């Protein structure tokens, strides 16, 4: 299930909830059910990734990073399929409950978000599983930006508020860019084995140096967009605690830029995931000011 990836999945829901609280529209039951649904979807994506990479040969003896379950022989392809089906069902049950809580009798909004949820399930599975998975064509970055950023943050905000504010797209894009950075680190770490297996991730297409420059752009642009959101806020000063996380991001960026050993990026992958969650936690703290 790759539990260390789950804080990143929660970051998008927490950010959407914090933004809703900023506008005085927070609902505790939405946070609960949205968090559960997101966790189930993230686990489904992780299982599907293990399944797809094992079938394609992307997970092999040359791979750097944590051991994969099918590759190691601990779980069979059939058992992983069963686990994927279980988490599809859990995602559906949790997601439908969330939508009923959010929209009650507004059937049009409920249907629209239900279709969006189905798209999220399909996207989670099709990342590296099935025929012609989009993760093997360098499109995983777009998926992460959309579903961890725009859909995760702005969508959860709308579930709380039932109204729309365009400026919410700014923190949504910030979380999307930070999340894409986590994927990019994963792809830089696995670049050599991905080349051998024919997996054309963005890091493979860009090469090591440009992939690291791309990483700097993801983090820098994320902070710039959040700064714009802060400046548009009626009380920009209240977000001052959030910038306490910036030195952590700078330290992380420096380590990635100087790194010459892909295996060492595994720790930075975890650090960026936790730093993103810290960023969101400091946004929540800002509401106290």
According to the model, what pLDDT value does residue 8 have?
Answer: 84
According to the model, what pLDDT value does residue 70 have?
Answer: 67
According to the model, what pLDDT value does residue 154 have?
Answer: 95
Enumerate domains of the chain plus CATH numbers: 3-286 (1.10.600)
According to the model, what pLDDT value does residue 228 have?
Answer: 95
Per-residue DSSP letter, 74: S
CA angle (190, 192, 198) in 5-degree steps: 95
Q: For the range 132-139, what are the long-range contacts, defined as Cβ-Cβ under 8 Å and sequence gap of 24 or more?
A: 133/52, 133/56, 135/49, 135/52, 135/199, 135/201, 136/56, 136/58, 136/198, 136/199, 136/200, 136/201, 137/200, 138/200, 138/201, 138/202, 138/204, 138/205
Closest CA to 94 of 121, 75, 76, 70: 121
CA angle (177, 183, 185) in 5-degree steps: 105
According to the model, what pLDDT value does residue 252 have?
Answer: 94
According to the model, what pLDDT value does residue 222 have?
Answer: 97
How far apart are the C-alpha atoms of 151 and 139, rounded to whole Å? 17
How far apart are the C-alpha atoms of 247 and 241, rounded to whole Å? 12
Which residue positions in the chain have pLDDT lower than 50? Answer: none
- Which pTM value belongs to this model? 0.88
Please, are residues 226 and 246 in contact by the beta-carbon 8 Å criterion? Answer: no
According to the model, what pLDDT value does residue 215 have?
Answer: 96
How far apart are the C-alpha atoms of 184 and 203, rounded to whole Å? 7
């Amino acid at each position: 299930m790759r539990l260390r990836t789950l804080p990143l999945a929660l970051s998008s829901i927490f950010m959407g909830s914090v933004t809703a609280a900023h506008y005085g529209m927070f609902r505790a039951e939405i946070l609960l059910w949205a968090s559960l649904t997101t966790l189930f979807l993230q686990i489904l994506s992780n299982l599907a990734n293990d399944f797809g990479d094992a079938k394609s040969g992307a997970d092999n003896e040359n791979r750097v990073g944590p051991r994969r379950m099918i590759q190691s022989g601990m779980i069979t392809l059939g058992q992983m399929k069963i686990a994927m089906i279980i988490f599809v069902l859990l995602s559906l049950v949790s997601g439908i409950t969330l939508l009923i809580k959010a929209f009650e009798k507004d059937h049009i909004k409920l249907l629209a978000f239900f279709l969006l949820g189905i798209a999220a399930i399909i996207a989670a599975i099709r990342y590296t599983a099935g025929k012609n998975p989009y993760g093997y064509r360098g499109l995983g970055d777009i998926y992460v930006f959309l579903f961890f950023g725009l859909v995760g943050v702005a969508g959860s905000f709308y579930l709380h508020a039932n109204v729309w504010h365009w400026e919410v797209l700014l923190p949504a894009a910030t979380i999307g860019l930070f999340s894409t950075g986590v994927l990019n680190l994963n792809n830089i770490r696995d670049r050599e084995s991905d080349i051998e297996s024919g997996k054309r991730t963005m890091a493979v297409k860009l090469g090591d140096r440009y992939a690291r420059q791309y990483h700097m752009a993801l983090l820098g642009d994320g902070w710039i967009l959040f700064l714009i959101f802060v400046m548009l806020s009626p009380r920009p000063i209240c977000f001052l605690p959030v910038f306490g996380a910036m030195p952590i991001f700078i330290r992380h960026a420096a380590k990635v830029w100087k790194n010459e050993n892909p295996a060492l990026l595994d720790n930075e992958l975890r650090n960026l995931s936790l730093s993103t969650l810290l960023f969101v936690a400091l946004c929540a703290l800002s509401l106290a000011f």
